[in-house]
Amino acid sequence: MLLRGANHIIKFDANHDMDARPQWSPAGHVNHGCYPNCATKKKRGGLWLTSIRPIEQGEELLIDYGFDLGEEFEPCRCGHPRCRGLMLRRKDWPRLRKLMSKVL
């Protein structure tokens, strides 16, 4: 579970994450975007940040944080015209809609 205001952990999968707080951590240079230009990969015993499309000089490095519905997730402010509005993984959106229909 991530604590509100302390989202400095990038979760790669159920067994791997990276703390972005230390200055030496490369994770501190990556932000969330609903339409990212990077992805994380496990390779040769390490976790790697790889581009998934050409990245322009000066462009911000973005990955989709894709928080689980069971985690505390935050609103998204990535600014993309098709922003999803939440840093929630895509596969949990139908479940969220179902939960919201019961509340509203």
3-state secondary structure 23-44: CCCHHHHEEECCCCCEEEEEEC
Helix (H, G, I), strand (E, B) or coil at 17: strand
The C-alpha atoms of residue 37 and residue 42 are separated, in whole angstroms, by: 17
For 19-51, the pLDDT digits (tens) are 666 565 556 678 889 999 998 887 887 778 889
Tokens of 34: 């609903």
Is the pLDDT score of 15 beyond 90?
no
Q: How much of the chain, in percent, has pLDDT values that exceed 70?
A: 72
Give domain limits for the chain: 9-103
